[in-house]
Amino acid sequence: MLIKIYNDNPNPKAIEQAVEILRKGGVIIYPTDTVYGIGCDITNHKAIERVCAIRGIKPEKSNLSFICYDLTDISQYTKPFDTAVFRVLKKALPGPFTFIFNASSQVPKLLSSKKKTVGIRVPDNNIVREIVKQLGNPIVTTSIHDEDEIIEYSTDPELIYEKYEDKVDLIIDGGYGDNVASTVVDLTSGDFEVIREGKGDLDQYL
């Protein structure tokens, strides 16, 4: 199923439709402020396994991130971090970053793995943030990769639909996606270490 949702003013009924699918253990594809993502409710183990199977990755070895609505959600899934870090996060989010934290004991329970770290995203995209807000907890997310040699990520919702319509329960057309992924910043040592340069420029927030 493909539905169109506009980022400027997401239709509440369409958002509710996506949330219902997630609550029932469904897998959806959605826009972010970078590339299109594929994800599910973090509390549903079978759905997480499906996401990993679609992407051809093992759940226990995968680098799945969580999309949170805002900073208030983050502390549940991370070990405590200092005020200086919080100040930077407050300025940089919502934005095109994935921050890697030391994971709280909550995370291994959710992912049935021994993960000691967790990637957190708060994308600057109203569609996916509204879905997370209405759902009431984060969604597990991973980017949609393309086999194309030139384009690393799928950007056209129509083409994404053709490729994934039989694999997922819902694809949200939020317009063309970006072809540049988020900037990944490792915070596990307490310092800001950029481990993948992407769309976000961290220097302007430090």
Those residues whose C-beta lies under 8 Å from the C-beta of residue 20, and which sit 6 or more positions away, are none
- Which residues are bridge partners to 186 per DSSP? 100, 193
pLDDT at 144: 82
Q: Is residue 43 a part of any domain in this protein?
A: yes
Nearest alpha-carbon partner for 174 in 26, 22, 35, 12: 35
One-letter amino acid at 112 equals S
Q: Is residue 202 a part of any domain in this protein?
A: no
Q: Is the pLDDT of residue 84 over 90?
A: yes
CATH classification of the domain holding 87: 3.90.870.10
Q: Is residue 12 a part of any domain in this protein?
A: yes
| C-alpha to C-alpha distance for 197 and 203, rounded to whole angstroms | 11
pLDDT at 74: 87
> CB of 127 within 8 A of CB of 5?
yes
Q: Which long-range contacts (CB under 8 A, 24 or more apart) does 45-49 make?
A: 45/112, 47/22, 47/140, 48/110, 48/111, 48/112, 48/140
How far from 97 is each of 120, 124, 158, CA to CA, in Å?
A: 8, 10, 26
pLDDT at 34: 93
| The token pair that represents 56 in the structure block | 């051809």
153 pLDDT band, cuts 50/70/90, is low
> CB of 132 within 8 A of CB of 39?
no
Q: Is residue 206 a part of any domain in this protein?
A: no
Q: Is the pLDDT of residue 149 over 60?
A: no
Q: What is the DSSP string of 76-93?
A: TTB----HHHHHHHHHH-
Q: Please compute the mean of the pLDDT values over residues 57-84 and round it to a whole number.
A: 86
First CA to last CA across the chain, in angstroms?
42
Which range scores top for mean pLDDT: 63-67, 110-114, 169-173? 169-173
Q: Is residue 201 a part of any domain in this protein?
A: no
Q: Please compute the mean of the pLDDT values over residues 173-179 and round it to a whole number.
A: 90
Q: Is residue 73 a part of any domain in this protein?
A: yes
pTM, full prediction: 0.92
pLDDT at 57: 83
pLDDT at 107: 84
Position with higher pLDDT, 178 vs 10? 10
Q: Is residue 157 a part of any domain in this protein?
A: yes
Per-residue pLDDT of 118-148, as tens digits, reads 999 999 999 999 999 999 999 999 988 655 5
Range of the domain at 61: 2-196
Domain count, the chain: 1
